[in-house]
Amino acid sequence: SQQGEEDPQALSIQEGENATMNCSYKTSINNLQWYRQNSGRGLVHLILIRSNEREKHSGRLRVTLDTSKKSSSLLITASRAADTASYFCANQAGTALIFGKGTTLSVSS
């Protein structure tokens, strides 16, 4: 299966803490994107890291990519209750995206 594996499946932290979630694929990673999904809503694009990049920042988000290990990680710093959502990685396959299974993040105040 081309589907990505995400780890952990669920993560519960306190406000102000950092949250790290990981994503790996069995196939080669091309350009990798991270998406966020609030309960019952559509997905929102967070950040794209290209296959020739190793690290990228956007606000409180930091994404790393290791193409040799076919893996990526998303770090959310200084988390807030509003960050509570599911987070999905998505690997580009042709012109489509193959999503991981997601990490459910719960941030309590």
Partner 1 sequence: EAGVAQSPRYKIIEKRQSVAFWCNPISGHATLYWYQQILGQGPKLLIQFQNNGVVDDSQLPKDRFSAERLKGVDSTLKIQPAKLEDSAVYLCASSPQHPLDGYTFGSGTRLTVV
Binding interface with partner 1 (CB under 8 A): 3-4, 6, 31, 33, 35, 40-45, 48, 50, 88, 92, 94-102
Smaller CB separation from partner 1, 2 or 14 = 2
| Least gap, CB of 52 to partner 1 (angstroms) | 12
Task: Return the biggest CA–CA distance within the chain.
Answer: 41
Give the distance from CA 36 to its chain's centroid.
8
| Least gap, CB of 16 to partner 1 (angstroms) | 28
CB 73 within 8 A of CB 22: yes
| Least gap, CB of 41 to partner 1 (angstroms) | 6
Report the run of H or E that residue 88 belongs to, with start and end.
Answer: strand 85-93
Smaller CB separation from partner 1, 56 or 101 = 101
